[in-house]
């Protein structure tokens, strides 16, 4: 069996303009001081990693690794959430998602998509240069605005959406395969891949591509009332990354899963700092150990109530306390009676 690595921290929600959150060295030193052993890096801010340069220069990639290693940390994975989102965008969201792309590509959906594909590919090569095994992204979405079937969806529309989604992602997945990197989709509301069924629909369209894998984040499943423990049983062979994030779902007589257009703090389902929500992390970490998950336990902090620095400090210890140092022997070995084929046959009467 394999012991999960960690704790690690996804730094996207902590990046800012003031120290220690405004450059890689400072945030690495801060995270190490809290007890983290790894950092998961977003790739849209060159203060933390220049993605194209990391893809094109092994020397630069080694320098980035050295910056975090100075404080006893490792880079766990790279994230292209915002770039992956732009691989597939329904036109209703064009103006909103323009903010994820350079200003020169605004009002240019085709150019924006081509840029996004290249960015996601850069992450594959950069991951290889950094010696990583996996990278996380979003799938993007064509069909999400039509999630609820009213008015009735036109026949074949969903199939057409997933066919096009697969058409766009297959060359990217092939490139990841060439680099030896798993591409892990974060299953997430707002994406066409938002639960197990939609992931399976996509997987069929990409011919069960070996690199089309999963980042597991139970918080998104609490908000959907999905069985997040059985999900691990079903998909554990595809789960290559793990976000440790808490959530709660408290429906009322006025509000349920859809949230009533309320702000996060007033929603029935909302994200919480580790230990403040309803996720059964003891069972999750047990299942991850049972299935030999060999990756990192990475804190993603999102909470409408608690200060992020408190969440980060508490989260490091929370993850450390939940990681199961797996056993190297069976607990009842002390009672073993030895191996004797003749004795076995005698006992069995054969």
Distance (Å, whole) CA 315 – CA 37: 12
Give the distance, in angstroms, between the CA of residue 186 and the centroid of all CA atoms in the same chain: 5
Using an 8 Å Cβ cutoff, are 101 and 156 in contact? no
What's the confidence (pLDDT) of residue 332? 67
| Interval 29-46: pLDDT, tens | 999 999 999 999 999 999
| CA dist list (Å): 320 to 75, 150, 248, 249, 256 | 18, 46, 22, 25, 33
What range defines the domain where residue 92 resides? 5-348
Task: Measure the CA–CA gap between 116 and 122, rounded to whole angstroms.
Answer: 10
C-alpha count within 13 angstroms, C-beta hemisphere, residue 195: 12
**Angstrom distance (rounded) from CA 159 to CA 202:** 10
Alpha-carbon distance of 112 to 93, in angstroms, equals 13
Residue 6 to residue 299: CA distance in whole angstroms: 9
- pTM score: 0.95
pLDDT tens for the chain, 350 residues long, are 899 999 999 999 999 999 999 999 999 999 999 999 999 999 999 999 999 999 999 999 999 999 999 999 999 999 999 999 999 999 999 999 999 999 999 999 999 999 999 999 999 999 999 999 999 999 999 999 999 999 999 999 999 999 999 999 999 999 999 999 999 999 999 999 999 999 999 999 999 999 999 999 999 999 999 999 999 999 999 999 999 999 999 999 999 999 999 999 999 999 999 999 999 999 999 999 999 999 999 999 999 999 999 999 999 999 999 999 998 877 666 667 677 888 888 889 99
CA distance 192 to 234: 19
| Residues in contact with 173: Cβ distance below 8 Å, sequence separation at least 6, in sequence order | 183, 206, 209, 211, 212
Cβ-contact 64, 24 below 8 angstroms: yes
Spatial distance between the Cα atoms of 270 and 275, rounded to a whole number of angstroms: 14
Please state, in angstroms and rounded to a whole number, the distance separating the CA atoms of residues 138 and 118.
15
CA distance 52 to 54: 5
Beta strands in 56-159 (DSSP E): 74-80, 134-137
The whole-angstrom separation of Cα 233 and Cα 13 is 30
| Structural domains in the chain (count) | 1
pLDDT, one tens digit per residue, over 175-193 is 999 999 999 999 999 999 9
User: What is the SS3 assignment for 7?
Assistant: strand
According to the model, what pLDDT value does residue 335 have? 63
Please give the pLDDT value at position 263. 97
pLDDT of res. 165: 98
**Distance (Å, whole) CA 315 – CA 8:** 9
- Return the pLDDT at 198: 98
Task: Output the pLDDT for position 7.
Answer: 98
CATH of the domain at 209: 3.20.20.150
């Amino acid at each position: 069996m394999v012991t999960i690595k960690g704790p690690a921290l996804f730094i996207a929600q902590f990046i800012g303009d003031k120290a220690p959150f405004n450059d890689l060295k400072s945030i690495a030193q801060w995270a190490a001081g809290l007890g983290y052993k790894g950092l998961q890096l977003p790739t849209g801010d060159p203060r933390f990693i220049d993605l194209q340069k990391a893809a094109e220069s092994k020397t630069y990639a080694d320098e980035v690794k050295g910056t975090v290693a100075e404080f006893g940390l490792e880079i766990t994975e790279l994230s292209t959430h915002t770039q992956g989102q732009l691989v597939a965008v329904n036109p209703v969201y064009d103006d909103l998602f323009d903010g994820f792309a350079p200003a020169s590509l605004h009002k240019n959906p085709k150019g924006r998509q081509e840029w996004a594909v290249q960015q996601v590919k850069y992450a594959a090569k950069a991951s290889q240069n950094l010696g990583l095994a996996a990278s996380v992204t979003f799938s993007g979405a064509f069909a999400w605005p039509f999630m609820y079937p009213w008015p009735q969806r036109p026949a074949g529309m969903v199939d057409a959406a997933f066919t096009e989604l697969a058409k766009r992602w297959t060359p990217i997945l092939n490139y990841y395969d060439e680099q030896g990197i798993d591409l892990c989709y974060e299953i997430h509301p707002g994406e066409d891949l938002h639960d197990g069924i939609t992931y399976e629909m996509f997987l069929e369209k990409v011919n069960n591509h070996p690199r089309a894998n999963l980042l597991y984040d139970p918080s998104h499943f609490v908000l959907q009332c999905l069985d997040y423990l059985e999900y691990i049983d079903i998909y554990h062979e595809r789960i290559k990354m793990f976000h440790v994030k808490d959530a709660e779902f408290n429906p009322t007589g006025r509000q349920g899963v859809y949230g009533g257009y309320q702000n996060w703090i007033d929603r029935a389902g909302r994200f919480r700092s580790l230990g403040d929500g309803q996720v059964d992390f003891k069972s999750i970490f047990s299942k991850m150990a049972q299935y030999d998950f060999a990756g990192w336990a990475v804190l993603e902090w999102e909470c409408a109530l608690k200060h992020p620095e408190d969440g980060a400090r508490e989260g490091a210890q929370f993850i450390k306390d939940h990681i199961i140092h797996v056993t190297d022997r069976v607990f009842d070995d002390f009672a073993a009676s030895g191996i004797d084929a003749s004795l076995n046959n005698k006992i069995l009467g054969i």
